[in-house]
Chain A
Amino acid sequence: MLEKNKKYLQIAFNRSLKEISSMIYSLPPSDRIIIEAGYPLLKTYGIGAIRKIKRWWERKSFRSLSFASYVVADLKCMDRAFTEVEAAAYAGASAATCLGLAPLETIDAFIRRCEELGIDSILDMINVEFPFEILSKLKKQPRVVMLHRGVDEGEENKEKELPLHEIERIKSVYDEVLVAIAGGETIEEVISGVFNDADIVVVWRPFNENPERILYITSEFLKEIK
């Protein structure tokens, strides 16, 4: 499971499974890398994708450092929390995501089922104006809160900024919660995410667009995330 005082780089994979397999084998072995089965990937291949990704990353991590491989299923759950969490957990996911925009009943059921099945719950705050308000209404806090600027939002509205200011606000009240930041893709954005005390930085574009350079890019990003 995730450690409180470490910083993590979460790489979301969204290419074909064949390409992802060689990308994962090219990654530098590091327990600070989190592998994400991206949301479009899941909808294209189903949860079988989680199982495969898990196996590839496990092989890689076992050969090198024997650290526990950590794979996130980006379900973006909106309803039927039990069914979705179970599907992800049985496929071997270490964590799964639920939308902060989902009904509270769904979020509460999601967090509870994740706890029962021993996987981490991640609450994705895409398009949530006041993440704080949602957290305060929950019966229990998720393991990770993900602050997220969507791809479509970011591309259509260049002025939309990453909600970096929320990181400290959340951490100062909920000290057990880890905060992830998603939607920034440049080294500069990653640096400012970590500077603002994010525990996890989620990236996808530079990795999925340059699969052949993934070892170099990952090493560069890991250097910045400490």
Chain B
Amino acid sequence: MILEKRKKYLQIALNSTLKEAENIIKSLPISERIIIEAGTPLIKIYGKEAISKIKRWAPSGTYIVADTKCVDLAFRDVDMAVKAGAKAVTCLGVAPIETIDRFINECQKRKIDSMIDMMNVPDPVSVLKKLKKLPEVVILHRGVDETEYSKEKQLPFYQINQIKDNFDIMVSVAGGDTIDEIQKAIFNGADIVVVWKAFYRSSRQTPQLAEEFLKEIR
């Protein structure tokens, strides 16, 4: 486990272009509580270069997540993420159990953190119970398309404690981008809050926004 269990983290997902990613990274305040994520679209568009470039631009020692959303061939995804310099990599909770088990095992072997993304999983606890070993982080996640097309869909805040009551594990919440949702996530015990909207394009406000989010996440 590379992250500290008692700290709260702000994970900034970069999903637009590499140029934007570079500008955003360079305007962020320096904080050990900032995690930078190479988002899925960025990886699919630029390949592993997205991860290695983000690593190069970020202050040394920054915790970088490769959001590969593994669903099969776990070994390949973990290997690629490690070689590109990531400290954590993601696997889908809807993936076959064999893939998730292989994924967690491979992450342990290669000494990077495993994150299981529970997007579209109705009962994350039941998935965790089926695993041979637990991941380092569970991500509760409402997708962008879900949020956009089904406005009534809520972030499953109640699941944070459901998971923490059953397992000694860090919980991350993704899919809420407003200050209100971030406060709720933290209030409900989340360890990591993932945001992307405010950091899709860099602007003069980028540093303040990051500061404001960091203030809420404590």
> Which residues does A use to contact B, with CB under 8 Å?
14, 39-40, 42-49, 75-76, 78-81, 83-84, 87, 99, 101-103, 105-106, 108-109, 126-127, 150-153, 155-157
Contacts and interface: CB of A to CB of B under 8 A. Distances in A.
A151 B30 CA distance: 41
Interface of B is mostly: helix
Contacts of A40: 73, 76-77, 80
Interface of B: 15, 40-41, 43-50, 68-69, 71-74, 76-77, 80, 92, 94-96, 98-99, 101-102, 119-120, 143-146, 148-150
A182 B68 CA distance: 21
B92 A43 contact: no
Contacts of B48: 43-45
Nearest to A78: B69
Contacts of A84: 41, 44
Contacts of A102: 120, 143
A39 B15 CA distance: 18
B145 A126 contact: no
A78 B40 contact: yes
Contacts of A76: 69, 71
A97 B142 CA distance: 21
A83 B99 CA distance: 26
Nearest to A91: B45
Contact of A105 (B80, B101, B145): B145
A46 B150 contact: no
A116 B97 CA distance: 35
B45 A127 contact: no
Given A76-B71, A87-B41, 15 more contacts: A42-B44, A43-B43, A43-B68, A44-B48, A45-B48, A46-B46, A76-B69, A80-B143, A80-B145, A87-B45, A105-B148, A150-B71, A150-B72, A152-B99, A156-B98
Contacts of A153: 72, 96, 98-99
A155 B80 CA distance: 21
Nearest to A148: B72
B96 A126 contact: yes
A79 B44 contact: no
Interface of A is mostly: helix
Contacts of B101: 156
A149 B94 CA distance: 14
A75 B44 contact: yes
Nearest to B69: A78
27 contacts: A42-B47, A43-B68, A43-B80, A44-B48, A44-B80, A45-B47, A45-B48, A46-B46, A46-B50, A48-B47, A78-B40, A78-B71, A78-B92, A78-B119, A80-B41, A99-B92, A103-B143, A103-B145, A105-B145, A105-B149, A105-B150, A106-B143, A150-B98, A153-B72, A153-B96, A153-B99, A156-B101
A46 B95 CA distance: 22
Contacts of B95: 101, 126-127, 150
B47 A43 contact: yes
B82 to A, nearest CB: 13
Nearest to A42: B44
B94 A99 contact: yes
A150 B73 CA distance: 8
Contacts of B76: 14, 40
Contacts of A87: 41, 44-45
Contact of A152 (B46, B74, B144): B74
Contacts of B102: 152, 156
Contacts of B146: 79, 103, 105-106
A44 B68 CA distance: 10
Contacts of A126: 71-72, 95-96
Contacts of A47: 44-45
Nearest to B93: A101
Contacts of A157: 98
A109 B71 contact: no
Contacts of B149: 105, 108-109
